[in-house]
Amino acid sequence: MGSESETVCVTGASGFIGSWLVMRLMERGYTVRATVRDPDNMKKVKHLLELPGANSKLSLWKADLDKEGSFDEAIKGCTGVFHVATPMDFESKDPEMYFVSKTLAEQEAWKYSKEHNIDFVSIIPPLVVGPFLMASMPPSLITALSLITGYLKFKNIHSIELSCASASPSSPHSVLPARVCSLIVEEFSKGLLYSSISGS
C-alpha cells in the first residue's frame, strides 16, 4: 500500500485485533471501511465510532462470514483488505475442523493471490492478549485467563500439567508458566484500565 490517503477495509473491525487495526490505520491517515455483523448494534460498534478521526475517516459496513458476497461492496475500490474476521465457536462438536478449515482457507487465499498478482500476508497468532478497546472482554483474554478464573474446563488437564512440568528454567527459549500467567494478568489489567479511561 502506498499513499496514506487511500481507502482500506478491515473485516471483523469490532473485535480485539480489528478495533486496534482500525484505530492505527486512521491515525496514519487511511480512510477505513469497517465491516461488522450489525452496524446498528451500538454495544458492539460504539468504541469504533468514538475513535479519533472516526467522523471523517470511518464508515461501517454490514457483512457476515455466513453470507456469501456480503463483503463485496465493502472491499470494492479498496487498495488493501485486512481480513481479521473469524467465526467464534467455543462449543464445536468437531474441533479438528477448525484447523482444517483455516488451512484450506489459507491455501485458497495463496492460490488466488498468485493468480491475480496480489500481495498476500497471512498471520496466525495462537493467542492474543493485551489492552482492548471494545466494551466487553475479548474471547481470547477469557481463554487466556481461564486457567486462573476456572471459566473454561479443560478435558485434557494431564497434557497441560506435563507441558508446565517440562518447562525448564535453564533453557534460554523456555518461559515459566507462572511468568506467563503473570504477564496475562498484567496485560488484562491494562485492558481494563484502558477501557475504563476511554469510557468504553
User: What pLDDT does residue 133 have?
Assistant: 80
Map out the domains of the chain as residue ranges: 7-88, 139-198
Count of CB atoms situated within 10 Å of the CB of 20: 18
> Which residues of the chain carry a pLDDT beneath 50?
2, 154-182, 184, 188-189, 191-200
User: What pLDDT does residue 116 have?
Assistant: 92
Query: Rounded distance, CA 198 to CA 188, Å?
Result: 15
User: What pLDDT does residue 190 have?
Assistant: 52
Number of helices (H), then strands (E), in the chain: 8, 4
User: What pLDDT does residue 32 have?
Assistant: 98
User: What pLDDT does residue 150 have?
Assistant: 67
Residues tagged active-site: 102
Enter the pTM of the model.
0.62
Q: Which fold has domain 7-88?
A: Rossmann fold (3.40.50)
